[in-house]
Amino acid sequence: MVFLTLPCWIRSRGPDRYWKVQEVLKHARHFRGRKNRCYTLAVKAVRRAFVYATQARRLKKRSMRTLWISRIAAASREHGMKYPALMHNLTKTSVQLNRHVISDLAITEPRSFLSLAKLAQARRQEGFNAALGDGKEPPGVFSRIVLLQ
């Protein structure tokens, strides 16, 4: 007699469950609690982490810009100007520096930032004189738009 039903009960499962599990767990190793050890919890946590990472790439640009703006505002207030006045007058004098560069200058090059603040202040005064004055004074130095050929 040959017993044939017993071998039919043995199933061979997939060979690489360990590596498929490790692929997910390796992204969860720095998590807190059982999410860094147990696969079922780790899958949900890793998916969330990836979603947050994707969203944060868009948000990082916004938060860096607000950081630069707050730094420039603090530095310009040290010199007696406010942020909107500084940026508007810098654009009017065609100084095409972005907020990243101006905030780096305010940190590492304080004297250059002081000169930028003074330039913006002078341009602001010329704007006031042109608007409020009689028109008899000559137009200012910084408000002349230079056309580079």
Partner 1 sequence: MSSRGTPSRFLASVLRNGLGRYVPQLKRISIVFSKNAQSSLGVRDFIEEGVVDYAKKNPGTVVYVSPQTCRIPKVVAEYLNGNVREEFVTSKTAPQISELLTKLANQSGQEIMRLRKPFHTDNPSIQGQWHPFTNRPPAIGPIRPQKQDSV
Among residues 1, 12, 13, 29, which is the contact residue for partner 1, using CB under 8 A? 29
Give the helix/strand (H/E) hosting 7: helix 5-9
Among residues 24, 41, 43, 79, which is the contact residue for partner 1, using CB under 8 A? 79
Please report how close the Cβ of residue 92 comes to partner 1 at its closest, in angstroms.
Answer: 24
How far apart (Å, rounded) are the C-alpha atoms in residues 109 and 129? 31
| Residue 28 or 86 having the CB closest to partner 1 | 28
Among residues 2, 8, 12, 30, which is the contact residue for partner 1, using CB under 8 A? 30
| Residue 90 or 106 having the CB closest to partner 1 | 106
Query: In sequence order, what are the residues at sequence separation of 6 or more whose Cβ sits closer than 8 angstroms to the Cβ of residue 42?
Result: 24, 25, 28, 31, 35, 36
If binding is defined by CB under 8 A, does position 78 make contact with partner 1?
yes
Please report how close the Cβ of residue 70 comes to partner 1 at its closest, in angstroms.
Answer: 15
If binding is defined by CB under 8 A, does position 49 make contact with partner 1?
yes
Footprint (CB under 8 A) of partner 1, residues 95-114: 106-112, 114
Contact 143, 88 (CB under 8 A): no
Q: What is the chain's length? A: 149
| Residue 73 or 143 having the CB closest to partner 1 | 73
DSSP annotation string for 26-84: TTSTTSSGGGGT-HHHHHHHHHHHHHHHHHHHHHHHHHHHHHHHHHHHHHHHHTT--HH
Q: Which two tokens stand for residue 5?
A: 């039903």
User: By the criterion CB under 8 A, which residues form the site for partner 1?
Assistant: 27-30, 49-50, 52-53, 75, 78-79, 106-112, 114
